[in-house]
Amino acid sequence: MDYCTFGRTGLEVSVVGMGAGGPSRLGVNTGGSEQESIAVVRRALELGINYIDTAEAYGTEEIVGKAIRGVDRDSIVISTKKNAFRKGGPVPMPLTAEEFVAGVEASLKRLGVETIDVFHFHGARLDQYSHICEELVPALQGMQQAGKIRHLAVSEHFASDFEHGLLRQAIEDDLFDVVMVGFNILNQTARRDVLPVTREKGIATECMFAVRRAFSNPTRLREILVDLRRSGEIDTDALDLFEPLDWVLEESDAKSLPEAAYRFCRHEPGIDVVLTGTGNIRHLEDNVASLLRPPLPSELVARLRKIFGRVHSVNGS
Ligand SMILES: NC(=O)c1ccc[n+]([C@@H]2O[C@H](COP(=O)([O-])OP(=O)(O)OC[C@H]3O[C@@H](n4cnc5c(N)ncnc54)[C@H](OP(=O)(O)O)[C@@H]3O)[C@@H](O)[C@H]2O)c1
């Protein structure tokens, strides 16, 4: 495993992070048993991954808690999250500071730890930002002082915020030590909108959405590319829709599109940790191997940057 300093947090983290959410949720979403999900996390630890990201909303905090039981607490970095607004009603309702703090306490219990290393506002949207800053950040700062949280973080709602409106504001205000940003071959807007500032300020970055469905399901990739042609975000003659990215494998040593997609993100300057979400141990092993491989050839990366450089309306799901 390769490790890096996680921005100004000073934490030493593996460049591969185990994502306990996404479409797989460690296999919970795809019919795996709890024991199988625990085995995925344990295998991640054996492979040298020390960064594990979960969330209240994923329903995987208890699984992570069981998987890390007995492991030296100082050897792992635990990241989790909570939504600042309650879903379910006709409109999302803001949580009070007391409700939010109670949620953090519940996460601590489910994880079975005394401190959460990185605590995110989960999938935050720009219209929620003032409530987060005015009501909830002070409450979390109190929890920091009490030693229950080490670093404050925010993850964006990349499913709707394709050009990082929330993160642009958050990094300008500089309240968070860590941000989770969507970035992949299709949507590279973070290179312009987020990464220059996070690098300058030493804000640590986690990359989500590196593969998603676009790079694990050829039919989905084709559908997305058809839409991007229609919207004019990629040129009509840029790619052959029947075998759109086969040339990436022909012109590199990458053996699969997920491998190419993970390597593309891993070597993007400014990205510290690339999260990989899977419920499949074989995929996990392949992904770790991919993420530890060298960058894709620079001409190939330049071509991917050029083809998808104007894309701003998709996230790869
Ligand atoms: N707003 C937020 O806070 C937010 C949003 C999204 C994600 N996240 C975090 O980021 C993490 C990463 O996101 P993600 O899980 O969507 O990431 P991802 O790694 O880009 O994509 C995961 C998807 O790709 C598949 N996959 C993974 N490796 C594969 C391989 N080698 N071959 C074929 N398919 C493969 C997985 O299915 P299999 O299970 O079959 O491998 C899964 O469906 C999440 O787990 C979560 O921790 C946060």
Q: pLDDT of 274-290, one tens digit each? A: 999 999 999 999 999 99
In a domain, 158, yes or no: yes
Give residue 88's identity as a one-letter amino acid code: G
Task: With residue 153 as reference, give the H or E element that holds it.
Answer: strand 149-156
Q: What is the pLDDT of residue 50?
A: 98
Residue 193 CA to residue 205 CA, distance in Å, equals 13
Q: Identify the pLDDT of residue 87.
A: 85
Q: What is the pLDDT of residue 105?
A: 98
Q: Looking at the CA of residue 287, tell me the nearest atom of ligand 1.
A: 31
Count of the separate structural domains present in the chain: 1
Neighbours of 243 (CB within 10 A): 12
- Mean pLDDT to the nearest integer, 31-40: 96
The pLDDT value given to residue 109: 98
- For residue 158, the enclosing domain spans 3-308
H or E element in which residue 150 lies? strand 149-156
Residue 224, helix vs strand vs coil: helix
pTM listed for this prediction: 0.97
Does pLDDT of 96 surpass 90? yes
In the DSSP assignment, the letter for residue 261 is H
- 44 in Cβ contact with 234 (< 8 Å): no
Q: Where are the beta strands (DSSP E) in 24-125?
A: 51-53, 77-82, 85-86, 93-94, 116-124
Q: Would residue 316 count as lying in a domain?
A: no
**pLDDT surpassing 90 at residue 257:** yes
58 is a catalytic site residue: yes
Q: Which of the listed residues 41, 87, 283, 292 should we mutate to test ligand 1's pocket, taking the one with most ligand atoms within 8 A of CB?
A: 283
Ligand 1, CB within 6 Å, residue ranges: 19-24, 30, 53, 81, 122-123, 155, 157-158, 180, 208-212, 216, 258, 275-280, 283, 286-287
313 belongs to a structural domain: no
Query: Looking at ligand 1, which residue's alpha carbon is closest to its atom 24?
Result: 212
Give me the pLDDT at residue 90, please. Answer: 86
Q: What is the mean pLDDT of residues 53-72?
A: 98
CATH number assigned to the domain comprising residue 206: 3.20.20.100
Average pLDDT of every residue of the chain:
97
pLDDT tens digit sequence for 175-190: 999 999 999 999 999 9
Q: Is residue 100 part of a domain?
A: yes
Distance CA 189, CA 281 (A): 31
Q: Work out whether the CA dihedral 162, 166, 169, 170 comes out positive or negative.
A: negative
pLDDT digits (tens, 9 = 90+) for 180-216: 999 999 999 999 999 999 999 999 999 999 999 999 9
Q: Which atom of ligand 1 is nearest to the CA of 206?
A: 10
Ligand 1 atom index nearest CA of 317: 16
Name the catalytic one among 3, 51, 58, 262. Answer: 58
Q: Is residue 314 part of a domain?
A: no
The answer as to whether 177 is a domain residue is yes
In a domain, 282, yes or no: yes
Asked if the structure places residue 144 within a domain, the reply is yes
226: three-class secondary structure by DSSP: helix
Q: Return the pLDDT at 88.
A: 81
